[in-house]
Amino acid sequence: MRVPERFLLAAILVALVTGLLLSGWSWKLDQLFYDWKIQHTPRAPAPEILIVAVDEKSLEEMGRWPWSRSVHARLVNKLAAAGARVVGLDILFSETASNDPNGDRELVDAVASSGHVVLPVVNTEHTLGGQLVESLPYGALADAAAAIGHVERQLDPDAIVRSTYLKGGLQTLRWPSFALAMLTIAYPERGGDLPGLRAPSSDDPTAMAWVRDHQIWIPFAGPPGTIPRASYVDVVNDRLDPAIFAGALVVVGATAVGLGDLLPTPVSGHSQPMPGVEIVANELDVLLAGLAIRPVDTIWWWCIAVLLVLAPALLYSRFPRWSLLIWGGFILLNIGLSMLLLHYTRYWYAPATAFIVQGITYPMWSWRRLVQTLIYLNRALRDLHGERVVPEAISGLPLSESMSFLRCIVPVSGAVVLDESHRQLDAWGDAPDPPVIGQVPAGEWRVHGADAWNRIQSGENSLYFGVRFQTDAGPDSADLDLLTPAALNFGARTEDTPRNVVELMQRRLQQVQAATEKIQFMRRFVADTVAEMAQGVVVTDGLGHVMLANARAEKYLGVDESGRLEKREITELLFKLEIEGAYNWPEILRTAMVDDKPVEMPVRTRDGLHLLVQLSSFVYNANRNRGLLMSLADVSSLRESERQRRQLRAFISHDLRSPLSSILAITGIAREDPGRIGSEMLDRIDNHAHRTIELVEDFLEFNRAQTADWGTFQNLNLSVVVHDAIDSVADKASMKKIRLVRRLPDEAPVTGDPALLERALINLLDNAIKYSPPQTVVSIGIEETPHEVRCTVEDAGHGIPAEDKDRIFEQYYRSGARREGRPPGLGLGLPFVQVCMERHRGRVEVDSEIGRGSRFALVFPGGQASME
């Protein structure tokens, strides 16, 4: 969530809290919390508080109310004698009893002599004129009383008594509450500030109104009956031990139904109201123990509520995964805090305001998040489309537009789109008549004369798409196929009207999902393409670490399968490649990365491969960081053919030319001096010509071997081929008195070209004879193992120097070439053997020791391979 939006949310929440708090709408809910707490924390009242109850039993025994005042006088006297600290006589004696002057007097005497009697004052509406008056005990009695307290009951709007005012009176706060008055009499030494919520000072002190101050809320000790009661009649008739009244604070009043006031309280509710006398006793108990409850100041109330509402709202976006938990946690915290404050500090923090506003923060936040997500999805989709990752056809064109192209191809004169109830949604040109088609499968055309109809399934709805053709003959199916996109195009538009935010969300999610799938497909496509490329490809980031590489690049850079190229630093691998030329790697990398110029250069790998490396830089992320793009192409075969061309040139320009030049030189001499032509000169010409033919044959043979194809090979008996080869060189051998020894099996099956193989064997035998002193032995053998067929040619000749062993198979290479007295040769003999064996899917092995002779082996694949 962006900052301004967060502030907006906060402001709305604060406004809600303030509004609720000022309006008092949550008051009812607050009382539920309050009453619940009061009900569920019962406590033992102070043991010295006692109620003397004018109950049903007393009425039964002592007759109807009112009783003679001398009875009350007797009670006061008895309580005084028993040592009660204070007696609160919660009975109204507003007028003298004209029929019982004795009783009046006795009561005044008793009250006066006790000196600890508190009497009530009430505010009553005067029967005449509705004016408020204070109704005090009659003069003499009021004078005799130790104190007078008001017994005004404070009813909340739901008619439940929860609080009381410690001060009250008509116009002035003359009277303490009845309980406060009792407490002051019982413990005159207790003074100090009065607790309770102060009332705002009245604007008009002269108004005849009852004024109140020092409001306290009473945590009732328990349901009615919790404070111990004694029956009035039992006390007056001495049925109780007077000791229980010693030091007691006694409240005398009516509990009998219909006699005194019975009021609902949090602990009793409306079903079981509490007698006024017990409410007074509770108040007395609360004052005595200092348990009075008062509400927290409004400003604090507001602060706590705002804090408890804002904190979770701001935490949601920080910890979105925990948002629900935070929500619940703060709701509990709010209520818990309220209960704990009430329990331990006697301060009442009304939690309902915060509770209600907290309740809506989470749905509000979730909704905002939904909207945010939607905005994000929209943007993501737009970006995706902008990236052209997801190419899409334009949809939802009006008919006139979607038909403007088609009408050039298809002979239509009009089109129309109807909804399910055949209401026209769009039309173009000479629209066809309403369809007579019933339930046809979607996407199929139905033709009626010059008209054709199609049903389009668009979401849950069906649309009818109709076209009119210019000819009565009607359309052919190819025309209709061309028209189908126009029908579907219309369908696409009607789909695009989500009904609500959830549907919109679903639609967007589907679109993003589809786009994501396409991107994934693209990614896979790119990855597969790179992997399968014939070239090696390496892509690095700006720090030279490989981000992407294919297997071929790994091979070229000498990374085996165990160590992947990805994430590795490129220079360590690059520097192993040897650049052919005067460049060096740092210089090349600079050119590519700093000068931003593509570089191309030939390099050699350790395995002797020739690569063409192309380097260029490219931007690889949104920060416009530049990375390196490198392609490695194997140009070894190109290089090889280049080398061969060079050698061919050398062969023609030198090897082939020199014998021909010699012949020309001889013929030149002969022409100048014809007498010199003798047999020796002709022999030399012969020799040179033979040598040329031999060279050309060697060359052609070698070429033939290079192009030999396994597919044309046949199954043959190698022994036969060897016999033929030996026969071809028998003369040469016998001239040097070299004995040819053969150890050949009757059958040695191999797959091959007999002419090429014979030629290869002749080359080996020729060399063996050529490079062996006379009167030695050359042995030829064939061995068969389960996997191979080996044909060996072994001589006892000069042997091949170790340093030459690797090079004798190179074309035109001759060990100790041109050395005086060396037998002539082109240097194509052994390369021919090697190429020939490669074509036969086999190999040549050589084993030689200077002075002791050489041993060449042609190894053919046996078993399965040869059977292919």
| Binding interface with ligand ADP (CB under 6 A) | 763, 767-768, 771, 795, 797-800, 808, 814-816, 825-827, 829-830, 854
Q: 537: exposed, middle or buried (C-beta count within 10 Å: 0-12, 13-18, 19+)?
A: middle
Is residue 121 within 8 Å of 134, Cβ to Cβ? yes
Q: By C-alpha distance, which of 276, 277, 370 is closest to 320?
A: 370
Residue carrying structure tokens 């899409």? 392
Please give the single-letter amino acid code of residue 418. Answer: L
CA distance 447 to 468: 10
CB nearer to ligand ADP: pick between 717 and 815: 815
Rounded least distance, CB 775 to ligand ADP, Å: 16
Query: Cβ contacts of residue 593 below 8 Å, gap of 6+?
Result: 617, 626, 628
Minimum Å gap between C-beta 811 and ligand ADP is 8
Q: Are strands 132-135 and 117-125 parallel, antiparallel or unpaired?
A: antiparallel
List all residues 6 or more positions away from 302 whose beta carbon is below 8 Å from its beta carbon.
17, 18, 21
Compare residues 134 and 698 and give the one whose CB is closer to ligand ADP.
698
Nearer to ligand ADP, 43 or 852 (CB): 852
Torsion over CA of 829, 832, 837 and 839, rounded to 10 degrees?
-170
Q: Measured from the CB of residue 849, what is the shortest distance to ligand ADP in angstroms?
A: 10
Tell me the closest approach of the beta carbon of residue 660 to ligand ADP, in angstroms: 19
Which residue, 137 or 827, is less far from ligand ADP as judged by CB? 827
Closest CA to 97 of 141, 54, 143: 141
Half-sphere exposure of residue 173, counting CA atoms within 13 Å on the CB side? 14
Of the two residues 219 and 827, which places its CB atom closer to ligand ADP in the complex?
827
CB-nearer residue toward ligand ADP: 243 or 741: 741
Work out how close the CB of 742 gets to ligand ADP at its nearest, in angstroms, rounded to a whole number: 17
Minimum CB distance to ligand ADP smaller for 188 or for 851: 851
Q: Which residues contact 394 (CB under 8 A, 6 or more apart)?
A: 489
Nearer to ligand ADP, 332 or 652 (CB): 652
Q: Kindly write down the DSSP assignment for every residue of 384-429, as one continuous string.
A: HHHTTSS--------HHHHHHHHHHHS-EEEEEEE-TT--EEEEEE
In the complex with ligand ADP, which residue's Cβ is closer, 591 or 703? 703
In whole angstroms, what is the distance from residue 280 CA to residue 161 CA? 11
Whole-number Å distance between alpha carbons of 254 and 278: 9
Please, what is the minimum distance in Å from the beta carbon of residue 604 to ligand ADP? 26
Strands (E), 689-811: 714-717, 739-743, 749-752, 777-784, 788-794
What's the DSSP call for residue 121? E
Neighbours of 506 (CB within 10 A): 12
The CB-of-760 to ligand ADP minimum distance in angstroms stands at 11
Rounded Cα distance between 613 and 610, Å, is 10
> Hey, how many other C-beta atoms are within 10 angstroms of the C-beta on 545?
13
If you count them, how many residues does the chain have? Answer: 868
> Nearest distance from residue 854's CB to ligand ADP, in Å?
4
Q: Which is nearer to ligand ADP, 415 or 762 (CB)?
A: 762
Helices (H) and strands (E) in the chain, counts: 25, 33
Determine the residue with CB nearest ligand ADP: 825
Q: What angle do CA 114, 117, 120 make, to 5 degrees?
A: 155
Q: How far is the CB of 815 from ligand ADP (least distance, A)?
A: 3
For the bound state, the minimum distance from the C-beta of residue 810 to ligand ADP, rounded and expressed in Å, comes to 9
Cβ proximity to ligand ADP, 443 vs 816, nearer residue: 816
Cβ proximity to ligand ADP, 620 vs 771, nearer residue: 771
> Of the two residues 176 and 799, which places its CB atom closer to ligand ADP in the complex?
799
Q: How far is the CB of 649 from ligand ADP (least distance, A)?
A: 19
The nearest distance, CB 699 to ligand ADP, in angstroms, is: 12
**C-beta closer to ligand ADP: residue 156 or 804:** 804
The answer to whether 542 and 625 are in contact (CB under 8 A) is: yes
- Please say which residue, 368 or 704, places its beta carbon nearer to ligand ADP: 704
Output the smallest distance, CB 635 to ligand ADP, in A.
27
Minimum CB separation of residue 706 from ligand ADP in Å reads 15
**Phi, psi (rounded to 5 degrees) for 613:** -105, 130
**Distance between CA 662 and CA 660 in Å, rounded?**
5
Shortest Å, Cβ 754 to ligand ADP: 21
**Which residue, 359 or 773, is less far from ligand ADP as judged by CB?**
773
Nearer to ligand ADP, 491 or 827 (CB): 827
In angstroms, the Cα distances linking 198 to 27, 166, 212, 289, 294 are 20, 10, 9, 20, 10
Based on CB atoms, which residue is closest to ligand ADP, 156 or 810?
A: 810
- Could you tell me the smallest distance in angstroms from the CB atom of residue 794 to ligand ADP? 9
Alpha-carbon span 584 to 100, nearest angstrom: 134
Which helix H or strand E contains 634, and what residues bound it? strand 626-634
Half-sphere exposure of 726 (CA within 13 A, CB side): 20
| Nearest-approach distance from CB 767 to ligand ADP, in angstroms | 3
Alpha carbon distance 21, 3 (integer Å): 27
Give min distance, CB of 785 to ligand ADP, in A. Answer: 24
For 249-282, letters b (16+ CB in 10 Å) and e give bbbbbbbbeebbbbbbbbbbeeeebbbbbbbbbb
Contact (CB, 8 A) for 573 and 632 = no
Question: ∠ CA 368-371-372 to the nearest 5 degrees?
Answer: 85
